[in-house]
Amino acid sequence: MFRSALGRSEAILNSEFVALAVVKDRAIIWGNRAFHQTFGYEPDELISQPTCNLFPDELSHVAFERAANAAIDESGRFHAELRLQRKSGDLGWFDLNMSRLDGSEHTFVATLVDRTESRQAVEKLALQVEILSAITDAVNVVSADGIIRFTNRACDAMFGYAEGELVGRHASVLNAETERSPQQVAQEIMQSLDASGGWRGDLLNRRKDGSTFWTNAQVISHRSAGLGQVWISVQRDISAQREAQAALRASEERYRTMVVATSVVTWRCPPSGLNTSSQPVWEAFTGQSAEQLLGAGWAQAVHPADMASVADAWQSALQSGQPFANEFRIRRHDGAWRWMSMRAVPVIDGAGCIVEWSGMGHDVTERKEAELALQDNEERLEMALDGSGLALWDWHLATHEVLGDKRWHAILGYQPDELGLAEENWWQLVDPRDLAALKRRLTDHFNGETASFHSEHRLRHKEGHWIHVEARGKITERDAAGQPLRMVGTALDISQRKRLNEEGVNLLKQIETLIRDATDGAPRSKEQEDLAASLTRRERQILGMIASGMTSAQIGEHLHLATNTIVSHRRNLMAKLDLHSTAEVTRFAMDHGLTNSR
């Protein structure tokens, strides 16, 4: 019965790239080859199994049934992105569309599309965007009180404001009125951020001129040294996409339930590969008429840069009789270019002859754009790291593995495959003299006592000598209990800087000795003695550091004070002592035994 309800196309039912299944009374009564392959099962292995076997736990299955039943009772169909379990135990994300089979109250037809790779690509892209802080989408930063603290140019332009005009305003000015007020929308987002550290969804926004538009927004929580808790929002204008989706949904109501559920472009043509009849779904997507599509008219909708490779692949499939698979851009009815994953299979009769070709295409624009953007970001990151001398490391604390790039191994004189991934191999390279301090700084960061990790320590080079490295990093992932799972950072060889610093210190000591020898026996005035005795502990400390050759920035870092504060202290101190140069400060410090006041 379900075959009759689904239609007479065996090519679709037996497709190797569209996962179809029929469910009755919570059990799978039929599934095509693609459905079984998607979940890692042999053909027909899932037949008669309960649908709960595809869910990671009972709770998620119960929630699915509740939502699906409510949606189908109300509108006749259910759509969701679900996290389901393969036979191997691995979890993946799947786009599910389901509707009731005609004439049967308890029988449903479902189509699934594996979205795992696209989800992973988007997540990886998000990480690169955070590292590089180089994004062309709208970006704004909002403090805990809801006030906008930063916007990039793309954000100002997207919302119709002059550069910097939004800074200082409440974030609710960006939200348009829906069934909820802008203040309620902003409050909902902030509550989600407080609870989970992130929020993602579509927002109806309001430009300065009052016009509205839709964006897909991703908001993350971040602690800023200057502003405290802030929320970083990245938004992409999806108005055209939403309009196209609405138009597509309206047109698809005229077609079979299966086509509506899968939301794909379907077509068929004779063995020659030339269209001889109308292709309603293709025409609705591209805006081409039936007359324009005749023959090889479909090629007019293909991007010129992709046309040659697509034509070659299609001709090769027609000549060999093998399935066709290609990804290329198609012009949508609104003029936008969309990446499509297009596949076609030959329909064979009993004599082994091709009677027609049946094809489907999935819109994979977001995944493709994510891949291209990711590739661009990775290239820019690689160039930035090459130019700075920084090495990148990635520490997976749960598995005790450390991944380093080629520069990380080169710093220590090793090839990438010589040290392996075990974190113990890296611990053994740390100088025992620095080990306790290094572990203490790591523990402080793990416990959330420091915003980031910073350490200068020695590592043993492959040739046996010690090198100084400066390591910086940050926890990027924690479990539900707050325990660190992943840490990412950089390392820089500072051996030369250390050596030059030590040589400078030695030179200062020699100068100090020469000055002391030259001034031995010089009488000290009572006024100078009184001034030295009146110095506070902090003033003595700063005076000694100046005499040792430290800059204001270095003194500030050592005392955990701002550089401007140290500059002010230094100026006031020299005025108090009537000293006019660093040389005079150094001599005063040596005369009164203040050179070791650090």
Give the domain ranges of the chain.
2-114, 135-237, 243-368, 389-493, 498-591
Q: Residue 326 in 3-state DSSP?
A: strand
- What pLDDT score was predicted for residue 10? 58
Provide the β-strand partners of residue 213. 205
Q: Give the CATH class of 135-237.
A: alpha beta
Mean pLDDT split into 10-residue runs, the chain, 598 residues = 51 70 92 92 93 94 93 90 93 91 84 86 60 68 88 90 92 83 78 83 91 90 80 88 73 48 72 86 85 90 93 93 92 90 89 88 84 68 61 88 82 84 89 93 92 91 90 91 91 78 60 58 64 82 81 83 84 83 78 66
> Are the beta carbons of 261 and 281 closer than 8 angstroms?
no
- What pLDDT score was predicted for residue 133? 45
From CA 148, how far away is CA 152, in angstroms rounded? 11
- What pLDDT score was predicted for residue 5? 47
- What pLDDT score was predicted for residue 132? 38
Fold of the 498-591 domain: Rossmann fold (3.40.50)
Q: 598 exposed, middle or buried (CB, 10 Å; 0-12, 13-18, 19+)? A: middle
Contacts of residue 2, defined as CB under 8 A and 6 or more positions apart, other chains included, come to: 22, 29, 30, 101, 107, 109
- What pLDDT score was predicted for residue 261? 43
Does the domain at 243-368 match CATH 2.60.40.1290? Answer given as no
Q: Give the CATH class of 2-114.
A: alpha beta
From CA 215, how far away is CA 185, in angstroms rounded? 14
Q: What's the pLDDT tens digit per position in 233-269?
A: 899 998 888 887 777 666 655 554 444 344 578 888 8
Contacts of residue 597, defined as CB under 8 A and 6 or more positions apart, other chains included, come to: 540, 541, 543, 544, 545, 589
- What pLDDT score was predicted for residue 361? 87
- What pLDDT score was predicted for residue 47? 95
> Are the beta carbons of 489 and 453 closer than 8 angstroms?
yes
- What pLDDT score was predicted for residue 245? 72
* CATH topology agreement for domains 243-368 and 498-591: no
> Are the beta carbons of 397 and 378 closer than 8 angstroms?
no
- What pLDDT score was predicted for residue 258? 46
Q: Where are the beta strands (DSSP E) in 367-409?
A: 391-396, 401-404
Q: What's the pLDDT tens digit per position in 45-82?
A: 999 999 999 999 999 999 999 999 999 989 889 999 99
CATH of domain 389-493: 3.30.450.20
